[in-house]
Amino acid sequence: MPLATWTAALLLVGALADSAPPPASTPAAPAGAQAAVPVPVKDARALALLRKMSDRLQHARSFSFRARTTREVLVDNGVQATVFNDVRAAIQRPDKVAVTRTGDLPEFRFAYDGKAMTAFAPGKGFWATMAAPPTIDAMVVAASEQANLSFPADEVVVADPYAALTKDLTHAVLVGQTTVAGHQTDHLVLATPSIELQLWLDDKTTLPVAEAVVYADDPRKPHFFIEYRDWQLDPKLSASTFSLPKPPGATQVDFRAVASAGQ
């Protein structure tokens, strides 16, 4: 989901509209009059919270987290099924990423060290590596364009999360506070023309606790949910964290093939 990833409004606005009392009747618009264009809604409080979250992640030299993800995938004749996965991610700015995914979808491992991106699909025994651009932001784009590979929560991995989350933004709403997974959180709803995103930010750390995404530009409107756990800012990460040597017995294949094996 470049990110990358990595996303919109208006689950909240739609819900409020459904529950609000009907407006007083208004005269019909004159024939030939243009339909009113929806007015963007950008709550300064929501944007301020988003900025605080971005600043914390942007200023961290390295960070890691675990996550539980829920994703809808196409299974047959347009029918979608919900799958669950666990993710471990480690990031070192500006040029290192490591991700491991286990669960319902095939196990998948990925490493990027600023020079190459490497992937391994243990279920198939497929391993691949290819040259990569020198920054995380450029690598995310290259992985998507060259291998159709996307990352969970890529908008928190890029160099400027705030810029990524506010690109083409039409709505930003602060819903209020609620408790999620034991954390008191600020609940934000963001929207662009193509993505609907909800964020729950810890009101003490400002880090994401959960994220819900609807891909509004996809006819099936698939949903994606991620619950973040165990955030670590500025941990010491060894070079081996971002290394993924070819395992014994693995078959080296084209990078797109190993990416497809992990879908």
pLDDT of the residue at 93: 96
pLDDT tens column, 71-94: 888 888 778 899 999 999 999 999
pLDDT of the residue at 69: 95
Mean pLDDT of the chain: 85
Instruction: With a cut of 80, say whether residue 29 has pLDDT above it.
Output: no
In the block, tokens 């662009």 appear at 192
pLDDT tens column, 81-128: 999 999 999 999 999 999 999 999 999 999 999 999 999 999 999 999
Instruction: With a cut of 60, say whether residue 33 has pLDDT above it.
Output: no
One-letter-per-residue 3-state SS of the chain:
CCCCCCCCCCHHHHHHHHHCCCCCCCCCCCCCCCCCCCCCEECHHHHHHHHHHHHHHHHCCEEEEEEEEEEEEEEECCEEEEEEEEEEEEEECCCEEEEEEEECCCCEEEEECCCEEEEEECCCCEEEEEECCCCHHHHHHHHHHHHCCCCCCHHHHCCCHHHHHHCCCCEEEEEEEEEECCEEEEEEEEECCCEEEEEEEECCCCCEEEEEEEECCCCCCCEEEEEEEEEEECCCCCHHHHCCCCCCCCEECCHHHHHHHCC
pLDDT band for 221, please (50, 70, 90 cuts). Answer: confident
Instruction: With a cut of 80, say whether residue 176 has pLDDT above it.
Output: yes
Q: What residue type is 234 in one-letter code?
A: D
| Domain residue ranges in the chain | 41-261
Instruction: With a cut of 90, say whether residue 14 has pLDDT above it.
Output: no
Per CATH, the homologous superfamily of domain 41-261 is Lipoprotein localisation LolA/LolB/LppX (2.50.20.10)
Contact assessment for residue 14 and residue 214, using Cβ atoms and an 8 Å cutoff: no
Rounded to the nearest 5 degrees, what angle is found at the Cα of 153, between the Cα atoms of 256 and 242?
A: 60
Mean pLDDT for the stretch of residues 244-250: 97
Percentage above 90 pLDDT, the chain: 70
Instruction: With a cut of 50, say whether residue 252 has pLDDT above it.
Output: yes
pLDDT of the residue at 86: 97
* Burial (0-12, 13-18, 19+ Cβ within 10 Å), 7: buried
Mean pLDDT for the stretch of residues 212-218: 83
Mean pLDDT for the stretch of residues 237-260: 95
pLDDT band for 36, please (50, 70, 90 cuts). Answer: very low
